[in-house]
Amino acid sequence: MTLKAKAVYRAVALAFAGVVGMSVVGPTPLAMAAKRQAPQGIPANPDDAFVELRNAARRNDVSRSWELADSLADYPIQSYVQYFRIKPQLYDASGYARTDAPEDEIRSFLQRYKGEAIADRLRNDWLLVLGKKRDWATFDAEYPNFVLKDDTQVECYALLSRAMKGQNVAADARNTLSDPKGYGEGCVDLIGYLAQSNQFTRADVAWAARLSLEQNLVTQASRIAAVLPDGDRVDNDTLANVTRMARNDPSQATAYLLAQTGSLSREEQGAGWGVIGQYAAKKQTPDALDAYRRQLTLGGDAYLSDESQEWRVRAALRAGDWKMVRQAVEKMRPSLRDRDPAWAYWYGRALKADNRNDDARQQFQSIAGQFNFYGQLAQEELGQRITVPPRTTVTDAEIDVMGRNHPGFGRAKKLYDLNLRFEGNREWNWELRNMSDRELLAAAEYGRKLGLLDRTVNSADKTKAEHDFSLRFPTPYLNVVQRNADAVGLDIAWAYGLIRQESRFIMDARSSVGASGLMQVMPETAKHIAKKIGLPGFRVSQMSDIDTNVLLGTAYLSMILTNLDSSVTLATAGYNAGPGRPKRWRSTLTRPVEGAIFAETIPFNETRTYVKNVLSNATYYSALLTGRPQSLKDRLGKVVPESVTPDDLP
């Protein structure tokens, strides 16, 4: 299993949704020109034509989108046909918002499909156009109707609109800009305006540019730097250079920063050490702790990225420095600290290490009700084992209402049938908004009736007070999983915990790198394991068979477990990132650590999240399957330092 292996439900993200022909508005000049293009062939199967239409819309191919949309006048989900007809007229071929979008057609669409997910999707697109053309009157009128508000660039345009009316938005902008991956044109424009209007200082601009550099968004960093006069560019200043160097060689960055100390303020020096600390911690070198200690002494917390602040805690955890753990959490930005229960848990542990038991207990109590990795660990700190809450059941009548009163579920099912999971998930999740716990459980049961177990899990996961953990943690194919787990001595709860994370029980799930099936086994790995266990005549196409997929997946997991000294924590990481990586991470330890500390300090974001989710899942599965209270801490165990040894596992 490679690090990037993912179920198909995470694939592709430029997707859009909709439903019926919109001839009430005349075509724009752009659309008329598109229709004059020489026609291409139209797939005979309407479903194939629809998928091709969606792909043409993603390419912003106006001509092909119109041609295909015209052939789908009777297609069942007509709102999507019309959305895919309109959307390419809002963006150019490079994906940038146009300023000549067909506003009458957009307004007609928004009115016709008011209240549907697809209307919110088009409003998102239109807001980007309105922001780019500085049509603030229309933008301000439409922005409150944007329900999901899940586009950073739109948020930046909303702040820019306020700033251009004379409001001071600097503090809100710093919060919005904390993650540079969604900046786009809108956020760069916002940074430029705030710099020109003296709401942002040079240091603020340098901070935003460095955030982009830390994410290796080099072109974006240069565009941000360009908002300042040429003589004041920040993309080649000392801290930008430190960031570039630290990514590859923290020791080189250290030498450079020390040589430049005289030209930097204390805060700038602190920001530099924070960057070095982050990359040294990710490389698991002992220099990380020293860099972060220097940073804490010098200051500059306001100019540290979220990642630098998080890795400051992780570096202290790995070193067992509880005083520094406490300091690092206390200096986190409040919005970052509140985003993840990890920081309440580790802060509680740091307080407990300082004999501040009442304060520690408050931290644990604040998250112990959450059904996740750190909620479980907090429960154990409060002296409670992990159990499942009482089961709430819903009636058949409540389930049937889901199909009648929520047409988005029907659209989602059609999209899933076309393997358009991103769009399907958007429709399904839209229907879940504002549902009560009983309605969410009914939606979960309805998903099960449709054979959509991933939607069953997704819907049941959202309940707050009334729960059904048999829906959150279903056990399909029980005989198959039990038989194969027993054959290799695996804990079935662990196997189910892994399957839930890998594929959400989507049997035909396929990742972008080719991993497939319930246990998301890579083709080359499958061939290797089949050979090792003596499976005659194995072909990769057999991975779509449930029995074969689970047979090879459990065999591989068992081999990794043996290879990694029966550590469930290490083996879980190895299934995701390859067994060689946890061996290397373990070899850099200077002392035995709790499994929870090892998991939290895994350098790869994906694997870190994966390990925590799988082992949290497994703990609940064990409670469900055995009917007995469980311990996540016992499952995590301890991880001890050990040198790397070669192996033949992929």
Residue 448 domain-assigned (yes or no)? yes
| Same-domain check for residues 126 and 255 | no
pLDDT attached to residue 647? 77
| Same-domain check for residues 328 and 416 | no
Please give the C-alpha separations between residue 552 and each of 8, 470, 546, 571, in angstroms, as whole numbers. Answer: 20, 26, 10, 16
- Render 531-578 in DSSP notation, one character per residue: HHHT-TT--GGGGGSHHHHHHHHHHHHHHHHHHTTT-HHHHHHHHHH-
User: CA nearest 65: which of 108, 28, 99?
Assistant: 28
| Same-domain check for residues 263 and 121 | no
Which residues make beta-bridge pairs with 183? none
User: CA nearest 308: which of 213, 392, 403?
Assistant: 213
Instruction: Decide if pLDDT at 405 tops 90.
Output: yes
User: CA nearest 270: which of 322, 244, 228, 308?
Assistant: 308
- Choosing from 502, 594, 606, 642, the catalytic residue is 502
| Same-domain check for residues 460 and 485 | no
| Same-domain check for residues 482 and 462 | no
User: CA nearest 185: which of 156, 146, 228?
Assistant: 156
pLDDT attached to residue 235? 57
| Same-domain check for residues 211 and 138 | no
pLDDT attached to residue 166? 98
Residue 560 domain-assigned (yes or no)? yes
Instruction: Decide if pLDDT at 607 tops 50.
Output: yes
Domain end: 296, 321, 338, which one?
Answer: 338
Q: How confident is the model at residue 649 (pLDDT cuts 50, 70, 90)?
A: confident
Query: What average pLDDT does the chain have?
Result: 93
Give the CATH number for residue 567.
1.10.530.10
| Same-domain check for residues 483 and 631 | yes
Residue 374 domain-assigned (yes or no)? no
Residue 549 domain-assigned (yes or no)? yes
Please give the C-alpha separations between residue 387 and each of 362, 372, 473, 529, 625, in angstroms, as whole numbers. Answer: 21, 12, 13, 36, 11
| Same-domain check for residues 299 and 180 | yes
Instruction: Decide if pLDDT at 24 tops 80.
Output: no
pLDDT attached to residue 295? 98
What's the pTM? 0.92
| Same-domain check for residues 143 and 217 | no
| Structure tokens belonging to residue 598 | 């090892």
The tally of domains found in the chain comes to 4
| Same-domain check for residues 127 and 189 | no
Residue 161 domain-assigned (yes or no)? no
Give the CATH number for residue 434.
1.10.1240
Contact yes or no for 438/410 (Cβ under 8 A)? no
**b/e sequence 20-37, b meaning 16+ C-beta within 10 Å:** bebeeeebbebbeebeee
Please give the C-alpha separations between residue 96 and each of 107, 157, 248, in angstroms, as whole numbers. Answer: 21, 14, 32
Sign of CA dihedral 128, 132, 133, 139: positive
**Residue 422: partners with Cβ closer than 8 Å, 6 or more residues away:** 9, 11, 12, 13, 15
| Same-domain check for residues 525 and 597 | yes
pLDDT attached to residue 236? 64
Residue 323 domain-assigned (yes or no)? yes
Domain end: 441, 467, 493, which one?
Answer: 467
pLDDT digits (tens, 9 = 90+) for 219-254: 999 999 999 887 576 656 899 999 999 999 999 999
User: How confident is the model over 282-296, as a mean pLDDT?
Assistant: 97
**Residue 250: partners with Cβ closer than 8 Å, 6 or more residues away:** 276, 279, 280, 283, 285, 287, 288, 291
Range of 180's domain? 170-338
| DSSP symbol at 639 | E
Phi-psi region of 264 (alpha: psi -120 to 50; beta: other; left: phi over 0): beta
C-alpha dihedral over 458, 462, 466, 467, to 10 degrees? Answer: 30
Q: How confident is the model at residue 30 (pLDDT cuts 50, 70, 90)?
A: low
Is 502 considered catalytic here? yes
pLDDT digits (tens, 9 = 90+) for 425-443: 999 999 999 999 999 999 9
User: How confident is the model over 522-551, as a mean pLDDT?
Assistant: 95
Residue 355 domain-assigned (yes or no)? no
| Same-domain check for residues 588 and 630 | yes
Q: How confident is the model at residue 10 (pLDDT cuts 50, 70, 90)?
A: very low
With a pLDDT cut of 90, the percent of the chain lying above it is: 88
- Return the minimum-mean-pLDDT range out of 29-38, 387-396, 413-422: 29-38
Residue 648: how many CB atoms within 10 A of its CB? 9
Higher pLDDT, 340 or 35: 340
Instruction: Decide if pLDDT at 2 tops 80.
Output: no
Domain end: 116, 150, 184, which one?
Answer: 150
pLDDT attached to residue 7? 36
Residue 1 domain-assigned (yes or no)? no
| Structure tokens belonging to residue 498 | 């892994």
